Amino acid sequence: MTSPSLFSLESVSVRFPVGRRRHVTAVDRVSLDLIEGETLGLIGESGSGKSTVARAAVGLAPVSAGTVRWRGRDVASFSGKERRRFTESVQMVFQDPHSALDPRRTILQSVREPLDVMGRGEKREREQVAVNALEDVGLSAQFLTRYPHQLSGGQKQRVNIARALVTDPKVLICDESVAALDVALQAEILNLLQDLKAEYELTVLFISHDLSVVSHVADRICVMYLGRIVEQASTPSLVGQSLHPYSEALLSAQPLVHQSSSHRRIVLSGDIPSPLSPPPGCRFSTRCPHVTEECRTTVPELVEISQGHDSACLRTADLYGVERPADREAS
């Protein structure tokens, strides 16, 4: 990786106890780098662990193994003061704009709260910062004294974004931030995020299940399946020629308004297996149309297949005509 990564996960696993000394591995040895100034898309279906990755990154979920690094330093080694600065620098916007706001607080109070918690400056200054942030997201002064129930869904999501911005973060993590909105509103919020990214010089981790949204905003995309990253590439590369059968199926399952005649639909059979008992070998092997015996037994690692394009499929040579480097060395 040439450019320095701002934020990186190194082989991070998250395990949750599920009783009787059993654990579910929600995230399994995931490594990813967030490079300053980019928008990284994280896509996957429900249960793939994409939200858990984000929560582990900011410390909202326990990291069972692996390291989270902020500007090259392990966040676990941070002192209280450093930890606080790190928390300020990474902010999150959640899916449901309504439940993310306290119904008993006014918009101004909600947006000012992170600054109150940090005890930054005078109350008057904090209020000014909050007002400015609200202005940046397109909400005028008349909204300051309103309560969440008086706002529409799109306005509430703007408030959530403003609240994430008051601490002047470096990284914004958007977890399904537009999933609950209608198309027209979704377009508005996506535009707003693009504008704010430029204005605040943000690095964005954009999590979504919607491939069309992710491919619109992201520079690079990571595809997750059952707790693991199965493919990682730049957006044009991934959308143009994906090197993993799951990404291919995901791309083809996306309902498109303008169908090209060459569009070949891959309908996967079956459901995502339970993370409690993931299949041995490749986790996608139970639904993969190209499965072989080897796939059922060998766990494929995520390796760089071609320039900047990683895949965790054992059969890239047969399916896409690009060999895995491990095979090249072995032979």
Partner 1 sequence: MPVLNVQGLEVFFGHGEERVQALHDVSFTIDRGEIVGLVGESGSGKTVTSLALMGLLDPRSSRIEGQAELGGTRLWDDANRRRPQVEVPMAMVFQEPMTALDPVFSIGYQLIETLRLRQGLSKARARAAALELLDAVGISDPRARLRAYPHELSGGMRQRVMIAIALACAPELLIADEPTTAVDVTIQAQLLELIRDIAADRGMSVLFVTHDLGVVAETCDRMITMYAGRIVERGPVGEVLAAPAHPYTGGLLAALPSPEHRDRRLATIPGRVPPPGERITGCVFAPRCQHRADICAEPIELGPFDDTREVRCARAHEIHATGADR
Binding site for partner 1 (CB under 8 A): 45-46, 152, 154, 182-184, 186-188, 190-191, 194, 209-213, 215-217, 235-236, 239, 249-250, 252-259, 265, 267-269, 271-272
- Shortest separation between residue 42's beta carbon and partner 1, angstroms: 15
Residue placing its CB nearer to partner 1 in the complex, 239 or 317: 239
Residue placing its CB nearer to partner 1 in the complex, 199 or 271: 271
- Shortest separation between residue 153's beta carbon and partner 1, angstroms: 8
Whole-angstrom distance, CA of residue 279 vs CA of residue 262: 33
Residue 331 class from Cβ within 10 Å (0-12 exposed, 13-18 middle, 19+ buried)? exposed
Sequence letter at residue 273:
P
**Chain centre distance of CA 292:** 31
**Is 60:1 a contact under the CB 8 Å cutoff?**
no
Q: In what order do the strands lie in the sheet with 65-70?
A: 23-35, 5-17, 65-70, 73-74
The number of beta carbons lying within 10 Å of the beta carbon of residue 251 is 18
The number of beta carbons lying within 10 Å of the beta carbon of residue 47 is 18
- Shortest separation between residue 56's beta carbon and partner 1, angstroms: 22
Residue placing its CB nearer to partner 1 in the complex, 150 or 212: 212
- Shortest separation between residue 110's beta carbon and partner 1, angstroms: 22
| 266 contact partners, CB below 8 Å, separation of at least 6 | 248, 249, 252, 253, 289
- Shortest separation between residue 113's beta carbon and partner 1, angstroms: 27
Residue placing its CB nearer to partner 1 in the complex, 105 or 216: 216
Residue placing its CB nearer to partner 1 in the complex, 93 or 130: 93
Residue placing its CB nearer to partner 1 in the complex, 86 or 225: 225
- Shortest separation between residue 180's beta carbon and partner 1, angstroms: 10
